[in-house]
A and B are shown apart, each in its own frame.
Chain A
């Protein structure tokens, strides 16, 4: 919006964009106008009236000229009644008074009304001390009550395991109801009755059926909604508050941890900071609980003489360094492989690969441990614009059209899902969701288009969308060589009709979807692990790059393709070269000029050959070619594909080092286990899905015996003779910012309060348009398609160590379409056995018509259910057989 208007608030004249609300203009003018019901993510409502101000316009005389008073100042015609600032937009020349007798009296009156029925609960109310009503009653209210009659009262309710409702304290601002609707898309709350009897509750007064995010609690300006898990635990002034970055998804929400003594008592959003402000999903809000779990490792463990026994840190470091040196000497450095690391902070990721490449001399480094096929290190970079300025999360919610490819964002990145819902409600965003299941975003209430592709036809779908996009010609704004390549791609791809057969989506629907995407001014393509961990990942990501250029989501200047990685710092792992074929900053080790700064800094000649990717490392270890594994922050045994092969690999390896917080299934098989510090116990940077660098603070000191992973890497590097001497993560970050293309010039101080998105002055990789064809592979066979994906309540092996999340998640279930279940003779709740090429799992079945017939859906991340026992996927996915069993054995 270009037009600006001049307004005067309490005598201060400022210029603001036309259409600004008075409350926002006042904030700009640094005048405090209190609000209750207004909220930056919600449309104006005007329910509470606390924001009333006096509004006037210059008096106009004959000829519509302003009338000036005796003192030469224009005379103001004040409106006879006060106006609500949160619903009134400013006009040019408008005057606003918040401190006049009229405004003060009106506000006092509103305050008195709000308190007519309000209980004097402050001492026992969990909001007390951070309650806006309390604050404003002090600031603007009367110091006595004229209320002589009995107050109306309600009975308090537990709305499920998270939300406690005390309706007596409610000021009926409707924030909770609106937030649940506008952001969460859940419509779980409503107002019963009218007027003074208004009561917020669930529709049927049963426990809330929603995402249990607790955002209603967060936005409630009073203590009407409070969090049951935090009930009476502390008062706000007891808590030290530290802002960290949530470790549960790449949205990278800022989480404000409240710490009393050494214990984290709660997590909240940040109100005015971070990409999320007040928002947190259920994982961000309750997932911190593992930090204070009594099961945490309290010292390193060493396997000497058969079993793991506690050891001192120095002892473990010496042992690990000596064994690594021996193995490198005996079998060459390529017999060592480093796995995992996308849950680490950026600095630790950098050190991890520096240790591998610079100290040990191996390039077998890969963070993508769940991948089932090799994916070039720069594939995702190119698909997301190669360092061109990229979409922000805010822009995502303002896009005209968003195409979500393959992932259920409810599980993978709840905040991204919420932003899309917000965009759909408020900014006219149209959603296209390509997913075999009817995931939340594909529900009809969001007015989008669901491309219900057949499982296994992902590549065909993306190619068909590209073909349909190119039918209208090559988009404007692409570099010349891209234009030419797209033109020849168009002829190679054929018509969308071919794709229609295979995907089960009509050619018309494909064309419409492509047209919407191409036509939208602001657009977004979102993809994630469903494609990067797909057996055809390399072709799929290439196909997404093709589609990006073909639809105009990638242009010479901007990139509107977002990669929502599997972990909160997956983007950082790619950037820091936790891939076997790229150094930090996506530098190709074969490029002598580009790699020189690294060689100089590290004082080592680098191995130029690309190393092994995670699936190749697994294979090599199982065959005995890789002898030593270092697995960091990764429950590899349960999450990498093909359990049988993993077991074989771990048996054959001479040395397995694991860094973890708990004695995980992987750690139990290790020779050296380092006890690591949690996200709350260390400082560092994480890079979120919009490539934003975010610094998180250390909230508490590490658990006794545990150390940040960076310290562990440094100790082992020194044990191997390196002369590393980083004292803080900042030291490491300085080195990163000096060496890494894309990060150059960034400073540690600049990362607060909100870090920048990294971009590169010149693209870090040239565009590559190529036909995306999956290598001919063994057919997946017959049987049902095994669908898996993220789930809301659990993410990763840490999430099930707390109390709330596992309780909310319940037990793992196999979800089947009712028709499919009937054909197999399976009823709701029956125990079924799912058998794949490698083995089977047993669990209870649930009928769910969001799952397509011909497939079975089991989310990953459930502790008791290891899907990799089914074997590795082949072709375009994994096929399984499902049958009812008599045995009631779950998850054996």
Chain B
């Protein structure tokens, strides 16, 4: 039982440990999802607490990304997707077909595994979302850009070259730019799908630091393959397997004392 010890060592000392007192931001109730005939999520129920970092771990193909994409309905873009169950964010049902998905996506931002800055300037990348929302005045935009870049811990590095192409940034900077871009529209929830998988340890550390910073104002849901990372940054962790949410709970508890045998096998490295 070496791995749990290691992970336990990286557990976040500031993480909250009392699940019962949290206010839920996202409530998922009996969510199942099919890609055509293939079922990718099975009866997932859980709630994501507000202003906390919630992590999903699990072997590849278990449906973590799928679950994440359900939260901002990015799965709608995939042909032949069918879902049952409900998801509430901030108390309202996002599955309502009459609901405006763009409004939902403004409230639920997303950062992708591969950084995807637009082929525009750094400034325009951040200003894109606010512009979509109808912010027109240059002064307003300037303020948003600076605030977002500061929040994304990127301001110091790029303040002199806001007009340069975002594609000239390093991978870690690009990913932070994407985080800044996502928070420029001031979402309630920030979804991050393996945001550090393409980054080196230093860039990863920066982003992890950033997440801890951001959770004061945003509810963060992160998917990661790196269990140390989950242990370091998250307050809550869910373990998924074959589309099922096997176990969900306070991170410390899940890593040090998993209730399910499959969780234990996974975190001790016995499969996956």
Q: Do these two chains really belong together in a complex? A: no
